[in-house]
């Protein structure tokens, strides 16, 4: 393991369990998608998500479940959603999960489109492509966390989207990672270790009220 104090882990830490928590978190996210039909509200979607989590045997949440619909997809986790927004016939939404399985933290997020909404689909696709590109640069070039987010900003602009620079990624580990006070990935001045950091990408249309979010763990074992 790394000797960087910002990458400290607990005595229970197991990289295999970290990968399993990641996989089960993605399974939960896919399960929630089945409930995302036109007319659903974010609160209704989160209630359905709780049922999915129970079926999968989660232990607890380590951060609240975020499901953002329509214009709320431009908001960060610190901003409250407009409660009156419901999923439209041609719309988009994103899911951001922080689940604990076997004492280890999973953190995944992705954006989806229903109906016919080409610009929203392009935004969702761009968020995924941008994360893959930045993660590939980490694998091949050993970039620091700071350099990864500088690259993300440059590439988002070149692709015609606006990067939310307030979203900078973060640590995960055996629960709770917060005791290590690791800070944000985007502030890390060295290359992040595999299996310990979440790369987050949130972009938005430069003028229209919609965006996209995608996040996953930086891992050498399972490249995007």
- Confidence label for 167 from pLDDT (cuts 50, 70 and 90): very high
Mean pLDDT of 190-216: 97
Cα–Cα distance, 151 to 146 (Å, whole number):
9
Range of weakest confidence among 96-110, 120-134, 208-222: 208-222
Helix, strand, or coil (residue 173): coil
Residues 27-60 as b/e (b if ≥16 CB within 10 A, e otherwise) read: ebbebbeeebeeebbbebbeebbeebbeeeebee
| Span 5-55, pLDDT tens digits | 899 999 999 999 999 999 999 999 999 999 999 999 999 999 999 999 999
Cα–Cα distance, 196 to 192 (Å, whole number):
8
| Span 68-114, pLDDT tens digits | 999 999 998 889 999 999 999 999 999 999 999 999 999 999 999 99
Cα angle 97-162-42, degrees, rounded to a multiple of 5: 35
Query: Does residue 3 surpass a pLDDT of 70?
Result: yes
Mean pLDDT of 111-133: 98
pLDDT of residue 93: 98
In the block, residue with structure tokens 């045997």: 57
CB 95 within 8 A of CB 67: yes
CA dihedral 133, 138, 141, 143 (to 10 degrees): 120
- Structural domains of the chain sorted by starting position, each given as residue range(s) with its CATH number in brackets: 5-217 (3.90.230.10)
pLDDT of residue 72: 98
Mean pLDDT of 205-220: 97
CB 212 within 8 A of CB 117: no
- Confidence label for 221 from pLDDT (cuts 50, 70 and 90): confident
Task: Please state at what angle helix 118-141 crosses helix 145-159, rounded to 10 degrees.
Answer: 150
pLDDT of residue 222: 57
Mean pLDDT of 167-191: 95
């Amino acid at each position: 393991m790394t000797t960087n104090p910002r990458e400290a882990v607990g005595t229970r830490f197991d990289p295999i369990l970290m990968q399993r928590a990641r996989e089960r978190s993605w399974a939960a996210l896919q399960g929630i998608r089945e409930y995302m039909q036109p007319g659903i509200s974010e609160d209704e979607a989160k209630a359905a998500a709780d049922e999915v989590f129970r079926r999968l045997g989660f232990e607890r949440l380590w951060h609240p479940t975020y499901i953002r619909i329509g214009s709320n997809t431009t908001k960060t986790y610190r901003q409250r959603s407009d409660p009156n927004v419901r999923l439209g016939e041609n719309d988009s939404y994103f899911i951001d999960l922080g689940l604990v399985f076997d004492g280890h933290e999973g953190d995944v997020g992705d954006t989806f489109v229903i109906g016919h909404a080409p610009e929203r689909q392009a935004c969702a696709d761009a968020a995924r492509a941008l994360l893959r590109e930045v993660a590939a640069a980490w694998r091949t070039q050993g970039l620091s966390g700071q350099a990864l987010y500088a690259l993300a900003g440059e590439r988002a602009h070149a692709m015609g989207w606006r990067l939310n620079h307030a979203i900078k990624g973060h640590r995960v580990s055996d629960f709770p990672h917060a005791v290590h006070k690791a800070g944000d990935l985007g502030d890390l001045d060295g290359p992040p270790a595999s299996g310990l950091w979440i790369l987050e990408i949130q972009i938005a249309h430069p003028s229209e009220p919609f965006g996209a979010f995608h996040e996953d763990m930086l891992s050498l074992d399972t490249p995007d």
